[in-house]
Copies of this chain bind each other. A is one copy, B any other.
Amino acid sequence: MKIKIINPNTTWSMTEKIGLCARQVAAPGTEIVAVSPAMGPASIESHYDEALSVPGILDEIRRGEADDVDGYVIACFGDPGLHAAREVARGPVIGIAEAAMHAASMIGTGFSVVTTLERTCGIAWHLAEAYGMRRFCRRVRACELNVLDLEQPGSDAYRIIVTECRRAMREDKADSIVLGCAGMADLCKAIGRELGINVIDGVTVAVKMVESLVQLGLATGKRGDLAYPLPKPYSGMLENFSRL
């Protein structure tokens, strides 16, 4: 089985970290391909960045289809382009916020999200609602870290995140922590050990969910809203997107 993980930003150090975490949980027969798109923002910290990460994601899905990829993970906590990607892919496509929130709802009664910048908290709440997970989401907490701070060796990021997780445990009475950024994937185990609480990284959960769906023969239904897009002319810089 071949699973493609798309880190929607163009920061390859993060992509490699994500790939590494994914490979640690993948089943023996699963091949993990982790990529960043050839276009787009270096990090995703706004609706603007998010919207402009989507062409690159869809481009990677198109390439993946040509490469017989079996399923995809979109590895940014805003799950950008998820529905568009599902229209284009044969196999399942899972976002990491989606995966993490669903998992949290199965192992507890209330999670808190710990994410990077305050300004992205609204995006997380919106996803919680769209996935039906709002009732399980106690709070979305920001650390006021930039996404790329997570890539700086020697940064305080780990300490700052742990401090916010502790607040979530004490103030929100959360029974699990959902990490709100793919760039935190490598910290998941350490935080869990330090705090003695379930800490959920969406990258690894999403890999297992894609594996599961593929094995069960389940992919996005093509009978309704998520059917393949109709062929039509695209123009200008995006001309190539008319060929699915």
For A181-215 the 0/1 string (1 means CB < 8 A from B) is: 00000000100100011101000110011011101
Contact A238 B81 (CB under 8 A): no
Contact A236 B106 (CB under 8 A): no
Q: In the complex, what's the smallest C-beta–C-beta distance from A151 to chain B, in angstroms?
A: 13
A242 to B47, CA, bound (A): 14
Q: A47 — which chain B residues lie within 8 A by C-beta?
A: 83-84, 86-87, 225-226, 229
Q: Tell me the nearest residue of chain B to A122, going by C-beta.
A: B225
Interface size on A, residues (CB 8 A): 98
Given the contacts A25-B215, A197-B223, A205-B212, A238 and B175 also touching, CB distance less than 8 Å: no
Q: A175 — which chain B residues lie within 8 A by C-beta?
A: 221, 223-226
Pick the residue among B46, B109, B134 that contacts A230 (CB under 8 A): B46
Pick the residue among B49, B107, B132 that contacts A131 (CB under 8 A): B132
Q: In the complex, what's the smallest C-beta–C-beta distance from A126 to chain B, in angstroms?
A: 8
4 closest pairs, A vs B, by CB? A39-B236, A132-B132, A208-B212, A175-B221
